[in-house]
Amino acid sequence: MTQADERVLEFLHEKDIVASPSVIAANIDYTQEYLSRRCRKLTDAGLLQRVDASNYRVTDLGERFLKGDIGGDEIPNV
């Protein structure tokens, strides 16, 4: 897990929205290209769900991570 990963999850959780990497990037000061890669990784790990061609939302696993129920070392593939 990177700091950007946590910020992506926090942003989507706090705003309770579905958003694209470009929207997320505009709000958390990372590049869209970098966040696109990280969103794909977070999706592979089960923390985000891709809802269409370019938008993501936090999954139940992502919510559990944010609550501290599971640690970053328990998340595979990130």
52-70 residue pLDDT tens: 999 999 999 999 999 999 9
Question: Whole domain around residue 62: which residue ranges?
Answer: 3-68
Residue 55 in domain: yes
Q: What CATH number is given to the structural domain containing 64?
A: 1.10.10.10
Q: Kindly state whether residue 73 falls inside one of the protein's structural domains.
A: no
Q: What is the pLDDT of residue 24?
A: 97
Look at residue 76 and tell me if it is in a domain.
Answer: no
User: Is 75 contained in some domain?
Assistant: no
pLDDT band at 74 (very low <50, low <70, confident <90, very high): confident
Residue 42 CB neighbour total at 10 angstroms: 30
Q: What are phi and psi of 12, to 5 degrees?
A: -65, -35
pTM score, two decimals? 0.93
Q: Is residue 21 assigned to a domain?
A: yes
29 occurs within a structural domain: yes
Give the pLDDT of residue 52: 96
C-alpha to C-alpha distance for 38 and 78, rounded to whole angstroms = 8
Number of domains in the chain: 1
Asked if residues 16 and 61 have their Cβ atoms less than 8 Å apart, the reply is: no
State the pLDDT confidence band at 33, using cuts at 50, 70 and 90.
Answer: very high
